[in-house]
Each structure stands twice: as C-alpha cells, then as structure tokens.
Amino acid sequence: METFAFAPAYELPAWPFEPPPELGSGEIVRHPIVIVGAGPSGLTLACDLARRGVRAVLLDEDDTVGVRGASSRGICYAQKSLEIFERLGICGRIAAKGITWSFGRTFSGVEEVYNFNLQAASVSKQPPFINLQQFYVEWFLVERILELGLTDVRWKSRVTRVEQLADGVRLDIETPAGSYAIEADRLIDATGANSPIRTQLGIEAHASRSTDRWCISDVRFAKPLPTERWTWVDAPFNEGRGVWQHLMADGVWRIDYQMPEDCDTAHISRPEVAGARLREQLGPDVEFEFVWIGPYGYRDHLLERFRHGRVFFIGDAAHVVSPFGARGGNSGIQDAANLGWKLALVAQGQAGDALLDSYDAERQPAAQENLRVTSRSARFLAPRSPAEHLLRRAVVALAARHPFARALVNTGRMSVANDYPAAPQLPEGGRSLQNLPMRWADGRETSLMQLLADGTRCIGLWLNPTSDEAREAMNATASLPLRLLAIGGDSGLPTLQADEKLSAHLGLHEAGSFVLVRPDAYRAATLSNATPDAIAAALRTALALR
C-alpha cells in the first residue's frame, strides 16, 4: 500500500498579548474606531487607516495569522486588491513571494476548449493576478501595521458582547488577563462568515448552502507545469467532474476537485483517497507530498444593509460568495478600501456623515453582482437538471470551434473591480481606474496609486486648463481635500505629460475636460468643460458636503 507524506506545517509568527490600559482601571474608554477581526478585510482597513494617519483599535481573539499554517485558504489576489496593497506599501513583498499570472486554459476532457490572457486588457502597473497563500498576505499586513505605528493591535481579545448606544457602541472583551469594556464611535465587524457580532445584534444574513462539494489539496510535486490557471469542466481523472489547478508560493499547488453531492467528506479527504486522485492526474511516476487536504462545501449569504447605525460590516461578515473567480477575499479587501478613506475624512471633519452611507450604497450592490456571477458559475459546473446538462455539453462542444461560445463557458469569471451604481455621492455612478503609469512634465515617473498614497485627498486631473482657470479652481477648493493636477499645458499646476493611453483610460478627450478621482481610485465625476465652480460642486457632492 502506497503511503503519502505531508510536508512540514508552516511556521508562522505569534504576537504577544499585552494587557490593555483599560484592564483593572474600571474606566470605560471611548475610541473613535474599533475593528474586530484580523483577517484580510480587518487588517486591510486597519492598515489603510494608519496609512491615512488615523488611529484605530484592532481586536482579534488569536495571536497569529491564518489557521496556524494548516491551510492556504484564499490564494488569488486580483489587480484591484494588488493596487490597494501597492498604496499600503506591501505589494512589493506580495509580488516577490507570490506567483504572478495572467494566462488561463480551460479543458473539456483532454481537449483545450479555449484560453485567455488577462494582461491584454490591462494598463496597470500591477499584474492581473498574484497567487499567494492568505496567511502570507495577513502576515505582511500585520508587519506593515506595526511599522506604521498608529494601530493599537490587541491579540487574544475576544468580543463577548456588543451593545448599540445612541452615539456609539459598547464592547465587552475577554482576555487572558481578565475582562474589560470599551466604547467606540464606530465599530467595524470583520469577524468573518460566522460573525458573533452579527448574531448578537440579531441581523439576518440570508444564508444558503450549496450541495456542491469539493476537496481541496495543497500539494508539492516534481512534475514541471506552466504558471497558468488550468480548469477542467469535466476532468477524465476526476470522474468527469470539475478541477482547478493553481501554483502558489513555496512550490505548492492548489488543486480543487469537485466531488459527488452525497460524498462522505471525511472519506474524500483521506490521504490515500486524495492521493489516488492526484496519481490519476499526474501519472504513476510523479513524486508528491501533501501540505494540506480538506473538504469544502460552498455557501453564501448577503446582508440587506452593510451599515447598521454605528456598526459597519465588511468582508465575509457582510457577504459570502462561492469562491469561483476569486471574488470572496478580494471583495472584502475592496470593502475595506472603500470604507477606509470615508472613515478618515469623516473623522477629520472633512466630509459629511452621509458619506459613510455611501459605503453600503456602493459595496452592497457590488456583493449582489458577485453573488450573481458566482451563482451562475456554480450552475454551469454543477448542472441541476437534464436541460442544464444538455446546455453545458452544447456550449463546451461549440467553444472549441466558435469564439462566440467561449464567453458562455463559465468556470468562474475572474474577479474585477465592481462598477458602482448612481447614488447621491456618485451621480454618474463610479468606475475603478487602474494604476496607470504616468510621467511628470519633467520626465519623473509616477502612477495613480503614488498620487493617492499620501494623505486622504481626491485627485482632480484636468486636460490643458488655462492658468486663469487653474488659479480660480485652486481658490474655490482651497478648504477641501483636493489635489489639482494638469495633464499637459502651462497652467502653473503640477503637470503630467499628455498621453493617449492616459487620456483614453480617464475618459478625457477635449481640452478643458476634467475627471475627479476619489481616494480609492474610483472616478467620481467627469466634466466635459470644467469650470472652477463646477469642480468645487462635484467635489462637495462626492464628499457629502452641503
């Protein structure tokens, strides 16, 4: 009987518990912002606030990252998330450790149905995707937060009770050294899919659970394969069911095998059973070792509102989708980036409180869209009726010969930055802008994320303004968080070189046109023939200022 080796578990850092000052004093201290949960969403938000000079308390009931290194969990980080990490100062570490990719292939049986290259539509400095085990990203975020020094990170701190107050939130917290209470002006719940805070507040998650079952195998093997995303709709080595294959850091491959709906999850995760599947896929002579094996049953939920008074829900506490196309963790990271700048400007008195309502108005529809997309992927991969099976067979057969059918093969639409619908702070709706490389008039290199990295300001990009217009606009917006930049011309403003690619991406085509870019790199407004008053009005609308 063949035996299967397991690679040594990852050795991850542990941070010390330090008794907080409130312990033993009996005093209930009020903090402006408290974040509960040090997963990707909570850590991104804490890091984002610190990068903006805003203090916060971050509570987590553990003292490390990941699941003690037992599994890789999330692995695919999309371009928008990587651009956020670039602004936060950790994208370089992620790129150095992770696996960059843009090319994918989809197979039916042994035949390649089609392939794609995500780089073709990209103008960003960041690649379409980097694969990296989730605990590394969390690790890098913790170290960056500690480096920035503005976040009070409290490990081994479990929130046992939450109470909404008229002007804030009270939290009871249990630690190894005893229990205490604090208050927060605003509380952000980043505690994940099984949020105890959501349960305590009696907020309905509208959960559903799929019968679709998978077995995840993290494995090292000696067979050389290209750094590409490979997907099988109906793999011959998995009894005609779906398979995903991705390379991660440390030479570890993530392979997801679709299982029968009524499978015994303990049985399918046994090393000898998982090893037989892998042997069927790789061939009889390939040496391999498991890092982790585990079953997975997809589930989803979606809160009706992401803001409840002084409590905000981000990441899996707010929404869970099936992980097709990497829309889960990336969406939580983007929740944090959406909320962070709004909290910062409101806390600093530079925006109205109604700006915080726009978090729900933007990210809840984004979650709805991600749920729709992943649900369609699930139905394609696990058809529920003879008609759906027939449709899938027809689509796969046509896709090998006809380009129109390839768009219908749905093995998981890859995560992209969501557009936002029209709303009070976004009259035109919002579209994410990529981290386009730019050059100053003197030839120095910069990029959109570099322009947004310092402080918390919108960016106004103005195509060939006159010097009089520039001077009047500076006066009209002097008290507002805006950095005005010219593209071309001789206006006296800091000036970027005119570039066709830049103008096309921003939607600026005629002299005098203007685009207002929010601190999260979303386009807030476009003015075809900007005036100083119109620029000031657009900025005040974007910031919920009367």
Q: Could you tell me which of 385, 374, 520, 489 has the C-alpha nearest to residue 44? A: 520
353-403 pLDDT tens trace: 999 999 999 999 999 999 988 887 777 777 777 888 788 888 888 887 888
User: Over the stretch 69-101, which tens digit does the pLDDT of each residue have?
Assistant: 556 688 999 999 999 999 999 999 999 999 999
Nearest to 329 by CA among 429, 515, 190: 190
Residue 374 vs residues 67, 117, 367, 412, 415: alpha-carbon distances, Å: 25, 20, 10, 7, 10
Position 71 scores a pLDDT of 63
Mean pLDDT confidence for 262-271: 90
Domains in the chain (CATH in brackets) are: 29-99+127-207+300-381 (3.50.50.60), 208-298 (3.30.9.10), 431-542 (3.40.30.10)
Whether residue 32 contacts residue 57, with contact meaning beta carbons closer than 8 Å, is answered with no
Residue 9 has pLDDT above 50, yes or no: yes
Are 373 and 327 in contact by the 8 Å Cβ rule? The answer is yes
- Please give the C-alpha separations between residue 400 and each of 107, 118, 392, 407, in angstroms, as whole numbers: 9, 19, 13, 11
Measured between alpha carbons, how far is 159 from 539 in angstroms, rounded to an integer? Answer: 38
Size of the chain in residues: 546
Which two structure tokens, joined as six digits, stand for 534? 């119109």
Residue 273 buriedness (CB in 10 A; 0-12 / 13-18 / 19+): middle
Question: What confidence score (pLDDT) does residue 299 get?
Answer: 80
Q: Which letter, b or e, does each residue of 408-436 get, where b requires 16 or more Cβ atoms within 10 Å of its Cβ?
A: ebbbbbbbbbbbbeebebbeeebebbbbb
H-helix or E-strand spanning residue 329 = helix 329-347
Tell me the per-residue pLDDT of 293-337, one tens digit each, with 9 for 90 and over.
988 887 889 999 999 999 999 999 999 988 778 888 999 999 999
Distance CA 163, CA 376 (A): 38
Query: How much is the pLDDT for 457?
Result: 97
Handedness of CA 35, 421, 374, 108 (dihedral sign): negative
Helix (H) or strand (E) holding 146: helix 134-148
State both tokens at 142. Answer: 């913790």
**Contacts of residue 259, Cβ cutoff 8 Å, sequence gap at least 6:** 213, 214, 215, 241, 268, 295
Nearest to 212 by CA among 254, 265, 253: 265
- How far is the CA of 138 from the CAs of 43, 145, 272, 479, in angstroms? 7, 10, 32, 37
The pLDDT of residue 1 is above 50: no
pLDDT at residue 53, as a whole number = 96
Is the model's pLDDT at 490 over the cut of 60?
Answer: yes
Give the pLDDT of residue 68: 59
Q: What's the confidence (pLDDT) of residue 406?
A: 76
Model confidence over 435-482: pLDDT tens digits?
999 999 999 999 999 999 989 999 999 999 999 999 999 999 999 999
What percent of the chain clears pLDDT 70, i.e. is strictly above it? 97
Residue 529's pLDDT band (boundaries 50, 70, 90)? very high
pLDDT for 72:
66
pLDDT, tens digit, 9 for 90 and up, residues 202-254: 999 998 876 678 899 999 998 999 999 999 999 999 999 999 999 999 999 99
The pTM score is 0.95
Task: Give mean pLDDT, residues 99-116.
Answer: 91
Compute the radius of gyration of the chain from its Cα atoms.
25
Average pLDDT for the chain? 92
Report pLDDT digits (tens) over 123-167.
Answer: 999 999 999 999 999 999 999 999 999 999 999 999 999 999 999
The SS3 assignment for 496 reads strand
